[in-house]
Amino acid sequence: MNKNDKLHTENMKMTFIFMRLKKTSMASKQKVTELDLFMKQIKKKNPGEQEFHQAVYEVAETLMPFLDSNPKYKQAKILERIAEPDRVIMFRVGWLDDKGEFQVNRGFRIQMNNAIGPYKGGLRFHPTVYLGILKFLAFEQVFKNSLTGLPMGGGKGGTDFDPKGKSDNEVMRFCQSFMIELSKHIGADTDVPAGDIGVGGREIGFLFGQYKRLRNEFTGVLTGKSIDFGGSLIRPEATGFGTVYFVEEMLATRKDKIKGKTVVISGSGNVAQYAAEKVIALGGKVVTLSDSDGYIYDEKGITQEKLEFVMQLKNEKRGRIKEYAEKYGCQFIPRKTPWGVKCDIALPCATQNELNGDDAKKLTRNGCIAVAEGANMPSTLEAANWFIKKEILYAPGKASNAGGVAVSGLEMSQNSLRLSWTRDEVDARLKGIMKSIHASCIKYGTDANGVCNYVKGANIGGFVKVADAMLAQGLV
The residue (of 270 and 379) whose beta carbon lies closer to ligand NDP is: 270
**Least distance to ligand NDP from the beta carbon of 121, Å?**
9
Would you say 375 and 348 are in contact if contact means Cβ atoms under 8 Å apart?
A: yes
Stretch of 20-28, 34-42, 86-94, 189-197 contacting ligand NDP, by CB under 6 A:
189-197
The radius of gyration of the chain from alpha carbons, rounded to an integer in Å, stands at 24
**Least distance to ligand NDP from the beta carbon of 238, Å?**
7
| Sequence-separated (6 or more) residues with CB below 8 Å from residue 356 | 380, 382, 383
Stretch of 36-44, 107-115, 145-153, 343-351 contacting ligand NDP, by CB under 6 A:
343-351
Would you say 185 and 195 are in contact if contact means Cβ atoms under 8 Å apart?
A: no
Angle at the Cα of 361 (from 355 to 366), degrees rounded to 5?
Answer: 105
Of 154, 198, 396, 409, the one binding ligand NDP (CB under 6 A) is 198
Task: Say whether residue 177 binds ligand NDP (CB under 6 A).
Answer: no
Of 62, 268, 288, 440, the one binding ligand NDP (CB under 6 A) is 268
Q: Is 107 left (phi over 0), alpha (psi -120 to 50) or beta?
A: beta
**Least distance to ligand NDP from the beta carbon of 213, Å?**
25
The residue (of 350 and 363) whose beta carbon lies closer to ligand NDP is: 350
Give 464: exposed, middle or buried? Use CB within 10 Å, 0-12, 13-18, 19+.
middle
Give 279: exposed, middle or buried? Use CB within 10 Å, 0-12, 13-18, 19+.
buried
**Least distance to ligand NDP from the beta carbon of 247, Å?**
15
Active-site positions read 156
**Cα 453 to Cα 384: distance, rounded to the nearest angstrom:** 11
Q: Kindly report the backbone phi and psi dihedral angles of residue 93, in degrees, each rounded to the nearest multiple of 5, phi listed first.
A: -120, 110
What does the per-residue mask of binding to ligand NDP show for 229-258, with x meaning CB under 6 A?
A: ----------x-------------------
**Least distance to ligand NDP from the beta carbon of 230, Å?**
17
**Cα 121 to Cα 288: distance, rounded to the nearest angstrom:** 28
The residue (of 378 and 445) whose beta carbon lies closer to ligand NDP is: 378
Residue nearest to ligand NDP (CB): 269
Task: Say whether residue 270 binds ligand NDP (CB under 6 A).
Answer: yes
DSSP assignment of 23-51 equals: HHHHHHHHHHHHHHHHHHHHHHHSTT-HH
Task: Say whether residue 401 binds ligand NDP (CB under 6 A).
Answer: yes
**List of residues contacting ligand NDP (CB under 6 A):** 195-198, 239, 267-272, 291-292, 349-351, 374-376, 401, 404
